[in-house]
Chain A
């Protein structure tokens, strides 16, 4: 398991050679992260294209959640976090202390592991984002709420109960509500941190179909511990192990012809 040189086969060149025409939204260069003394992410080099689904897979504790939370600086909520390197979004280094984190999170939405609707009505949940950004016009809000709920394929199920508490929805509906809530701020990128791990198979399927639709308009980065899911829905896959990127390539390649033996071991279920 010695970290050999050349394992991080320069991800940019490989990734961009396959899709030259697509714009890069996120670019991570030599990114390191520590929780206190624990070196959780080591020399991460990755870049993500717009309007693609990138899956991040890896065993528990490999740093995949930490990494996706670094992309919108949510990881800073944990005290004692230190970072080095560069994560650039639209060519700006988001780790720069002068970069406004509120601005970043307005352009990069996030869907969490556990559905986390606010204890408010369905309407208020979706309208929350636009409201904090200063939209007060009732008509505009109505439009945003309807469009977002339709976008998340939830409108037909909740249109008659917009004023009911979101906690009354099923788990799968709640997660789609969270996706609608995220879409309401019209982000460019949606980060998803194991969005189906708390859901039943049917709701999972719903979300996966939704991701396929969302991809037309958004760039999606999704952390998943479900390899079949990664294979089904993503264009590219990054495999994390012990805080390092072992492999990053087109999903087909990663799953059928991985370059690294550890990737093969993981996807064939030999560990993790």
Chain B
């Protein structure tokens, strides 16, 4: 050995290995930190809420008596809103992504649009609330109905979906579209039959993230003036409504006066988490189905 001194190598060896273990430990700790907080939160929510989570709570109407109060109204409000949010966001968002990524000429205009969409994804949700209040509630005079709330939340998550759909479209190998064009397919045939199916799993992953964000948003709804105390159930897109996160918010506020409301809030959080899991699993099932077909 000319340059590699065996002793020196041996001396350094244990230090190097120790440093490796330290690095591993640090990264493990940072992972564990977040997880522990999450577990504490879940344990508290479940221990407080699970006892209140009965059939009456799930199906009941809102009531001043905590023992009788139920969240069916808020649940229906959230569900109706999803019926607006999912199609509106998906169609407009994916449509926009397809236009920017596949049709628009690459140039100044396209890059300006692109930068703005990326910036919109970072705008605070309360600003979207003001936007919704101005346009849907006031200008279009819809009032604080399901449609107005749904459209507002659609706008809020649209940039997230557009950006992730664009990434998914861009990830489709160029060779595949070339093969399709090479056989005389039009652009639309190529998009419909080759690009979209290949990009769909990625687009759905983006949709899951965006939808989870929408379902838990409270701030824009408060700005829209969505009431928390609402006895009748919403029966359509043009009804007044309240949503699960709104209900949770107000019950948490009321807990200062009556302790039981805290437990109601916890129980409602469990329902909200359950709903979120359900929507995510549906999206994942659809995604896996498409991935298998590929």
Bound Cα distance A119, B180 (Å): 12
Chain B nearest CB from A108 CB (Å) reads: 9
Bound Cα distance A178, B180 (Å): 11
Q: Of B106, B183, B194, which is within 8 A of A129 by CB?
A: B183
Q: How many residues on the A side are at the interface (Cβ–Cβ under 8 A)?
A: 27
Bound Cα distance A49, B179 (Å): 25
On whether the beta carbons of A118 and B194 are closer than 8 Å, the reply is yes
**A119 partner residues in chain B, CB cutoff 8 A:** 176, 197-198, 294
On whether the beta carbons of A112 and B179 are closer than 8 Å, the reply is yes
Q: A91 contacts the other chain (Cβ, under 8 Å)?
A: no
Q: Of A72, A112, A132, which is within 8 A of B185 by CB?
A: A132
On whether the beta carbons of A72 and B193 are closer than 8 Å, the reply is no
Chain A nearest CB from B180 CB (Å) reads: 7
**A112 partner residues in chain B, CB cutoff 8 A:** 175, 178-179, 182
A residues 97-113 in Cβ contact with B at 8 Å:
102-106, 109-110, 112
B residues 277-294 in Cβ contact with A at 8 Å:
294
Q: Of A72, A133, A178, which is within 8 A of B179 by CB?
A: A178
Tell me whether A106 and B181 are in contact in the complex, defined as CB-CB below 8 angstroms, given that A112-B175, A116-B173, A165-B294 are known contacts. no
**B122 partner residues in chain A, CB cutoff 8 A:** none
Q: A1 contacts the other chain (Cβ, under 8 Å)?
A: no
Q: A128 contacts the other chain (Cβ, under 8 Å)?
A: yes
Interface string of A122-157 (1 = CB under 8 A from B): 000000110011000000000000000000000000
Q: B184 contacts the other chain (Cβ, under 8 Å)?
A: yes
CB pairs A–B below 8 angstroms (12 shown):
A74-B181, A77-B178, A102-B185, A102-B186, A105-B182, A106-B184, A112-B182, A114-B175, A116-B176, A119-B198, A181-B183, A185-B183
Interface, chain B (partner A; CB < 8 A): 105-106, 173, 175-176, 178-186, 189, 193-194, 197-198, 294
